[in-house]
Amino acid sequence: MRTEVTLQGLQAALSPVRLARKSIGFVPTMGNLHQGHIALVREAKKYCDVVVVSIFVNPTQFGAGEDFEKYPRTLEADSQLLADAGCDMIFAPSVQQVYGNKPQLTTVQVDDIANDLCGKSRPGHFTGVATVVTKLFNMVQPNAAFFGEKDWQQLAVIRHLTTDLCFSIDIIGVPIVRDENGLALSSRNGYLSSEEKQTAIQIYQTLKMVEQDIKSGQTDLDAILQRGRDYLASKGFVVDYLEARTPDLKPVTDSQQDMVILAAAKLGSTRLIDNLHIKGIH
């Protein structure tokens, strides 16, 4: 496994791969890796000849008062995990490599779906995500890119920008990896105390309760979701949202249709997200 830190080094390293007509799989990350990230690498290895993982803490997707400065930078540990998983190349650029020295006048904005859910409480977040992913796609030029379904909204935004900007890249979503208690793996779980970790599993429990209510034939989706919000609040969460959307993030019009229940809530100072895809009855 090799590590490149410049665009020139990355492109020189990938040039022979392209000449040999080998496929390139790409996993963009912000580092501080866990087994959820490793699942993306393993999936990429199934599809592609060469797997590139970027490690870049992107400043433009953090809002005021968010955790950009304290976000853990753990390149050495990340590199070991990636080597063990069979990653071929790490791309770990500096902010200057990605954004240059001149003011950034160009951004990529995905309207509509990026303004809902997390986009409401984190204005500008998805513009930062869409812009950096577009830049990384241009730098790596992969055949396929792999994203976790834990951030369902982010995945939907990236699918849209890939289609709208005519990238010839297959976007592949990979199911959520959970710990033995059902907590979705996340780099932010490291901010939780052991007591908070025990409480945090209630997000998934709430999603399962909502699913059970829907599958039992209850049709008042608003009431079901409100019960879920109240339950989370009773457990000490500050609920940002608990909402139902279609898989492409449109409003749900029928409680029996295919839907995703999406949740975001703060526990102490840590913001957690999760979701559950519920297959429609018809």
Q: Is 154 annotated as a binding residue?
A: yes
215 labeled binding residue? no
- Give the Cα separation of 1 and 41 in Å (integer): 13
Structure tokens at 262: 């999406």
Q: Is 34 annotated as a binding residue?
A: yes
Q: Known binder of ligand: residue 138?
A: no
CB 134 within 8 Å of CB 161: yes
Q: Is 160 annotated as a binding residue?
A: no
Please give the distance of CA 192 from its chain centroid, rounded to a whole number: 19
For tokens 């951004």, the residue is 107
Active-site residue, 282 included:
no
Query: What gap in Å lies between CA 140 and CA 134, rounded to an integer?
Result: 10
Q: Check the annotation: does 9 bind a ligand.
A: no
The vertex-219 CA angle with 213 and 221, nearest 5°, equals 75
For residues 208 and 228, give the distance between their C-alpha atoms in angstroms, rounded to a whole number.
Answer: 10
Per the annotation, does 10 bind a ligand?
no
Q: Which of 37, 125, 160, 282 is catalytic?
A: 37
227 is in an annotated binding site: no
186 in Cβ contact with 272 (< 8 Å): yes
35 is in an annotated binding site: yes
Residue numbers belonging to the annotated binding site for (R)-pantoate: 61, 154
Active site residue ranges: 37
Residues at the binding site are: 30-37, 61, 148-151, 154, 177, 185-188
